[in-house]
Amino acid sequence: VSAFFVTGAGTEIGKTYVSCALLRAWSESGVACDAFKPVVSGFDRADAAQSDSGLLLGALGEAVSDENIARISPWRFAAPLAPPLAAKAEGAALDFAAIERACRARIEVRGDRVLLIEGAGGVMAPLTDDRTGLDLIAALNMPAVFVAGSYLGAVSHALTGLAVLDARTIKVAAVVVSESAVSAGLDATCAMIARMWPGHVIAAPRGAPISWCAPLAHRLAAQQSI
C-alpha cells in the first residue's frame, strides 16, 4: 500500500485540488485512503470547510469537525504567510522533528489505506526557521506527486522543482499539470515537460470532470511505494 507526498512548483498551484480528485477517485473505486496536511497557514476556523484541511476531509467523506480538522492538520495558523512567519505571528515556532514524527506516525497507522501528505506551498517553501518542505520529503523518504501549472513560465518552475527533488533522490511518481486560470496551453505545457522529464505527466483540465484522474489514481494505488 502506498503513501505519497503531494508537492508542487508553488503555492496555489493545485495541490489540494489534485489531492481531492485522487481521494474522490479512490473512494469511488473502493480504495481506502487518507490524507494529512500537517501544517496549514491562512486557516480561518469560521470557514474551515474551505481550508485545505476541510477540503481534504470533504473529499474523504468526513465531517469538517474541530476534531477531524485537528487530526488532519495538527498545526494551523491564521496568517496567510509561509509557515514559520505564520507561526511567529502567533508567538509560536515550528519544530521540524515534531512535524516529521507526526508524518511518520500517520504513515505507520495507514494500514491498507493509500495516504497522501500535502505540503505547504512550493517544494522549497520554508517549513520551519531553517528547513524547507523539501527537507521533510527527503527525511520521510517518500515518493512525490508533483503538481505544476500551465501558466507562461510553468515549465521552468516545474523542471526546477523536479531537479531539486532528483538531487535529493526523491522519486516522483507523476507530474500533474493543473491547468492555470491564465493558461499558456495545457497540452503544450504537458508535452514540453514530458520531453524533458522522463516520467508520467498528466493533464488536469480546469473545471473538467475528475475523470482525468482515474488512470493516475489506479496506477498510484497499485504502487508499493513505501
Ligand X SMILES: Nc1ncnc2c1ncn2[C@@H]1O[C@H](COP(=O)(O)OP(=O)(O)OP(=O)(O)O)[C@@H](O)[C@H]1O
Kindly tell me which of 2 and 150 has the beta carbon lying closer to ligand X.
Answer: 150
Please, is 100 exposed, middle or buried when counting C-beta atoms within 10 Å of its C-beta (0-12, 13-18, 19+)?
middle
From the list 61-69, 99-107, 159-167, 200-208, the region that binds ligand X by CB under 6 A is 200-208
Q: What is the Cα–Cα distance from 117 to 5, expressed in whole angstroms? A: 5
Q: What is the Cα–Cα distance from 102 to 116, expressed in whole angstroms? A: 14
Q: Which does 225 bind (CB under 5 to 8 A by kind): ligand X, Mg ion, none?
A: none
Annotated catalytic residue 88: no
Instruction: Decide if 206 contacts 183 (C-beta within 8 A).
Output: yes
Is the C-alpha dihedral spanning 38, 42, 47, 50 positive or negative?
A: negative
The alpha carbon torsion through 11, 118, 133, 141 (nearest 10 deg) reads -150
Kindly tell me which of 12 and 109 has the beta carbon lying closer to ligand X.
Answer: 12
Size of the site for ligand X (CB under 6 A): 15
Q: Which residues pair with 3 in a beta bridge?
A: 115
Kindly tell me which of 147 and 173 has the beta carbon lying closer to Mg ion.
Answer: 147
Among 158, 162, 204, 213, binds ligand X (CB under 6 A): 204
From the list 13-21, 71-79, 81-89, 92-100, the region that binds ligand X by CB under 6 A is 13-21
Instruction: Decide if 165 contacts 134 (C-beta within 8 A).
Output: yes
Q: What is the DSSP letter of 202?
A: E
Among 38, 121, 143, 161, binds ligand X (CB under 6 A): 121
Positions in the binding site for Mg ion (CB under 5 A): 15-16, 52
Does 206 engage in binding with ligand X (CB under 6 A)? Answer: yes
Kindly tell me which of 138 and 202 has the beta carbon lying closer to ligand X.
Answer: 202
Q: Which residues are catalytic, by number?
A: 37
Binding site for ligand X (CB under 6 A): 8, 11-17, 52, 121, 178-179, 204, 206-207
